[in-house]
Structure 1
Amino acid sequence: MHTSRSRVAGLGVYLPEITRSTAQTEADLRRHNPKLKLATGMIGRITGVKSVHLRPPGWQTSDLAVAAARKALADAPGPIDLLLFASASQDLIEPATSHIVASKLGLDCPVMDIKNACNSVLNAMQVADALITSGQYERVLIASGEQPSHAVRWRLDSKDQFLRSFPGYTMSDGGAAVILERSGDLSGILGSTFVAVSSHWQIGTLGTGGSMDPHADNGSHFDMDGPALQQAFLDLGPDAVLATLQKLDLHWGDFDLVAIHQVALPYLPPIFERLGVADDKTIITIEDHGNLASVTLPLQLLLARDAGRIGEGSLVALIGLAGGISLGVMVLRL
């Protein structure tokens, strides 16, 4: 008898049709800041991002999650006995956004929010897996809605402020959903590892509404040191990921897909090199879709599935990188 596991039963991603090109972002920055010396094409050259998605007018974070959840439920119909809202974004501080998502979906199951920046969905999968394998739930819906566009700083006081606001110009709105259920065969989550170096929490912040800035006097925009964030992850190194593979007696050649969170295109080659991952094992989403925060990994899963790169029996690694900082790796058999 095989060990109890949870498996990915359904996927759904919602990407708003409204987009903003990087060229338009640069034009808007020049319009709002006539004194800003911004070389044409600089944002694209530094990040590799061509465009980002923007939520439809009037849409909330929960609406993005609901749109994706409906797709996942169509992909894997059946009852849901727990809803996890997993996102860096939220509708309100109180109540939990999971209640709003459940209400809009017409669900009456227990709910809770899971929040850990860009690793929110990956951590929610970790939690759902534990709850399913312990026998508490059978089918868990994880829904994410990311709406970072509201926190982009358009009016700048200095060059330093521009540099610390820079990562926000490549962030995208979107929704993702994953349904996990008890596996009846050898498919499912095979193992995972999560680590954090929390002394780096000040590298990137968004203080809106928290006790440090309850009225958003100073924290309504992203404030991030991008190079410091990249260096923090390079310093953390690949040990946690490689140890997970060793524990499972796996090698990168065994995998059909290695999905990894993507902040900027130039950041990826050094990470792939440190991990020892070949380019043909990955899928690039940052160019056409921007940084979708916790929506990124589900999007890569869905794109790979739709392209026929993965399917039943495929071996997949999900590698999450999040502010704080956190790193997570999850290995699963579809």
Structure 2
Amino acid sequence: MGGRATTIASLATYVPPRLLTNADLEKMVDTSDEWIRQRTGIRERHIVDPGVATSDLGTEAARKAIANAGLTPDDIGVIVVGTVTPDMFFPSTACLIQHKIGARRAWGFDLSAACSAFTYALTAASQLIASGAHDHALVVGADVMSSIIDYEDRSTCVLFGDGAGAVVVSAAKAGEPSILDFEHEIDGGGGPALCMPAGGSARPSSHETVEGRLHYVKQDGATVFKFAVRKTEEVSRRLLNRNGLTPADIDLFVSHQANRRIILSASERLGVAPEKVIINIERFGNTTAATIPLALNDALCAGKLKKGQLVLLASVGAGFTVGSVLLRWGF
């Protein structure tokens, strides 16, 4: 990557305290704990209480990330928020978080890439730091998926949870670990396979769209599964090949946590040893933009992620969006 080297200087996460377990879902829809675990690997997920928004979760993670970096909000030059559940269409969630944390010198924007939002936001922020425009960027991946999930649709309501993660991206000192490279792509032909049909300019909100339950996530599970497995492997392999690396060189593989079977299938196809693959979906479900920082945080707390290790991030999301980031862990 061009420009000066950049690094992840800190990490923090936040999930709302309220749990929604598989046992709870058994009482809401025709499903079972065994069915959910076998097909997804999920045991429980966190969901917000009424009135709690994406910016609230993002603010909690952002404050901790800034403090963990030894900085103050005034040190942040730009804020990039990856989310598919903004508090509202406008103003942006970045503006709301900026105000809540008191980052008086920052500008920022939201980035919509569904489950690839964190990898894309991390890349965008890294490029802004690499350019020399800023010394410190705040990247937030946060979603309140419970706000757009139909809890009468058993095919989707078992999958998603709410959460947030944040990192500070800073200029790397000479010789220190840094963000090395990225590989992203989109395929808009896959749009209908995973979407929220109404609420935008194509189908504005109306009595008909509400009655038709079109303001909820709709998914063609089989199509998404096959695409995610294939593309996770493809984009990761391209990135490794370009950098003269093999899967054996990776210390840690952190994929978007959409489904346990997707992660295992993709990592097996790629040839990453199982002990290097981080999976924590059983505790959080699919939190969309927050899954990768939540997985990184678990790896860090478990002692599996250490300074200088080679880490490969990968994601596939609605759009379709596909992303991969290669980095050496910064702290």
Determine if the TM-score, normalized by the shorter chain, exceeds 0.5.
yes
Assess if the C-alpha contact under 8 Å between 2:232 and 2:316 holds in 1.
no
CA distance in 1, matches of 2:238, 2:198: 37
Call closer, same or farther: CA 1:306–1:237 in 2, change over 3 Å: closer
Residue 182 (structure 1) aligned with residue 171 (structure 2) = yes
Asked if 1:145 is matched to 2:135, the reply is: no
Tell me how far 1:62 sits from its aligned partner. Answer: 0.3
- Give the Cα–Cα distance (whole angstroms) in 2 for the partners of residues 177 and 39 of structure 1: 33
Normalising by structure 2, we get a TM-score of: 0.91
1:248 is aligned to 2:248: no
User: Which position in structure 2 is the counterpart of 1:97?
Assistant: 93
* SS state at 2:173 partner: coil
Compare 175-184 and 248-257 and name the one that shifted more. Answer: 248-257
1:61-140 alignment runs, 5 A limit: 61-78=54-71, 79-108=75-104, 109-140=106-137
Q: Which moved more, 1:322-331 or 1:214-223?
A: 214-223
Query: TM-score normalised to the size of structure 1?
Result: 0.90
Contact preservation (8 Å) 1:93, 1:209: no
Report the Cα offset of residue 116 of structure 1. 0.4
Which residue does the alignment assign to 1:296?
Answer: 291
Q: Which moved more, 1:39-48 or 1:215-224?
A: 39-48
Return the offset for 1:154.
Answer: 2.8
Deviation sequence 1:105-124 (CA, Å, 0-9, x none): 11121111111001111101
**How many Å apart are 1:92 and its aligned residue?**
0.6
- Residues 227-283 of structure 1: CA deviation (Å, up to 9, x unaligned): 110122345473332121122122222222110012122222221122111111111
Matching of residues 250-265 of structure 1 within 5 Å:
250-265=245-260
How far, CA to CA, are the matches of 2:78 and 2:3 in structure 1? 22
Deviations 1:57-113 (A, max 9, x none): 421110000011111012112211111111121001011111111111111211111
Counterpart amino acid of 2:191? W
Rounded Cα–Cα distance in structure 1 between residues aligned with 2:297 and 2:32? 36
Seen in structure 2, the aligned counterparts of structure 1 residues 143 and 283 have a Cα distance that, compared at 3 Å, is: same
State the alpha-carbon separation in 1 of the partners of residues 228 and 166 from structure 2.
27
Distance between the aligned counterparts of 1:234 and 1:197, measured in 2?
Answer: 15
- From 162, 170, 182, the equivalent of 1:173 is 162
Structure 1 distance, partners of 2:114, 2:97, is 19
Residue 54 of structure 1 and its aligned partner are, at CA, apart by 0.8
User: Does structure 2 conserve the Cα–Cα contact (< 8 Å) formed by 1:168 and 1:222?
Assistant: no
Classify 1:113/1:272 alpha carbon distance in 2 versus 1 (closer, same or farther; 3 Å).
same
| 2:321 alignment counterpart | 326
Point out where structure 1 has 5 or more consecutive residues left out of the alignment: 31-37, 156-161
Task: Kindly state the Cα deviation for residue 208 of structure 1 after the two structures are TM-superposed.
Answer: 4.3
Which consecutive residues of structure 2, in runs of 5 or more, have no partner in the other structure?
Answer: none
Report how many residues are paired.
318
Aligned residue identity for 2:12: G
Question: Per-residue deviation at 1:40?
Answer: 6.2
